[in-house]
Amino acid sequence: MEEVIKLAVIGSPISHSLSPKIHKIFAESLGIDISYEALHVEPVDFKESVRSLFQKGYTGLNVTLPLKLLASEFADNQSEESRLCGSANTLWKQGSAIYADSTDGRGLINDFQKQNVELKDKDVILLGSGGSARAILPSLLKKNPKRISILNRSEDKALALADKFSQSQQRIQVRSLTEKLNFKPDIVINSTSASTLKQDILLPDDIFHEEAFFYDLSYSKDPTPFVEMAISSGVRKCSDGIGMLIEQAALSFEIWTSMKPKTDSIKQNIFS
């Protein structure tokens, strides 16, 4: 009999995680046997927990807040993307070494492709400068947008983020949330946690354009406040981040099992 592939997501808080559901759908569709748990792990216990889980025969781990930076630092080998963004959401063991990758950025790009959104030569606005902004920036830059304007409530964090990617500085600018844009963005990506926290977000008052694509990394059963705001401001094409969540999970699943799950029909089942 084939052995069950043991997987888990670790983080704190963790009970809300949709990852067990998504990975079980992937496994069922491919006819393979997995277990996938959501385990509460605090930063102080991170190293010990990861070592112990791999010792117990886990094939792979997803890592979520607040452990993504620790995961990247802790791994013996990081993917180029994980090194560039200093963050990891996927761990696995090969021989005695622990490997880390960050699949968030590629997950976002795959969701954009599914929605026929091109980044090449586009004027992109990135709202927020937290962990997810850092995780997606290398993938966004790889697609050669014309420019990425970073706007964040704490401007010092936006400047620090831009500085981290200083090799691409000519394509990254930092702007204030309180000033008019005075240009029409093609794509606006909200990587703040304002939607998830149900908080208001201050935005430049000329940010909404009906032909721009608005994408909120946050997701929920109902339209997120950011998506609702975009729709009510006349934007025709908007999306929340559920597609990205599914796509980044599919990339992790493929790393662990070498099998590529289908992602198309999952969105409808995820909140049921």
User: What amino acid positions are annotated as catalytic residues?
Assistant: 68
Do 238 and 230 form a contact (C-beta atoms < 8 A)?
A: yes
Contact 246, 110 (CB under 8 A): no
Q: Does 154 bind ligand NDP (CB under 6 A)?
A: yes
Nearest distance from C-beta of residue 148 to ligand NDP, angstroms:
15
Q: How far is the CB of 37 from ligand NDP (least distance, A)?
A: 19
Query: Does 87 participate in binding ligand NDP (rule CB under 6 A)?
Result: no
CA 109 to chain centroid: 10
The interface region with ligand NDP, picked from 40-48, 149-157, 231-239, 257-265 by CB under 6 A, is 149-157
Give every CB contact of residue 247 below 8 A, 6+ residues apart in sequence: 106, 107, 108, 110, 111, 114, 263
Element (H, E) at 85: helix 80-85
Nearer to ligand NDP, 65 or 117 (CB): 65
Closer of 97 and 271 to ligand NDP (Cβ) = 271
The one among 78, 192, 239, 263 contacting ligand NDP by CB under 6 A: 192
DSSP designation for 269: G
Contact present, 136 and 86 (Cβ < 8 Å): no
Which parts of 143-215 fold into alpha helices (H)? 155-164, 194-197
Residue 201 in contact with ligand NDP, rule: CB under 6 A: yes
Q: Is 178 in the site for ligand NDP (CB under 6 A)?
A: no
CB–CB of 256/6 below 8 Å?
no
Q: Which of 124, 194, 207, 238 binds ligand NDP (CB under 6 A)?
A: 194
Determine if 157 is a binding residue for ligand NDP (CB under 6 A): yes
Is residue 130 within the footprint of ligand NDP (CB under 6 A)?
A: yes
**128 binds ligand NDP, rule: CB under 6 A:** yes
Q: How far is the CB of 9 from ligand NDP (least distance, A)?
A: 12
Query: What span, in angstroms and rounded, lies between the C-alpha atoms of 103 and 78?
Result: 12
Q: Does 71 bind ligand NDP (CB under 6 A)?
A: no
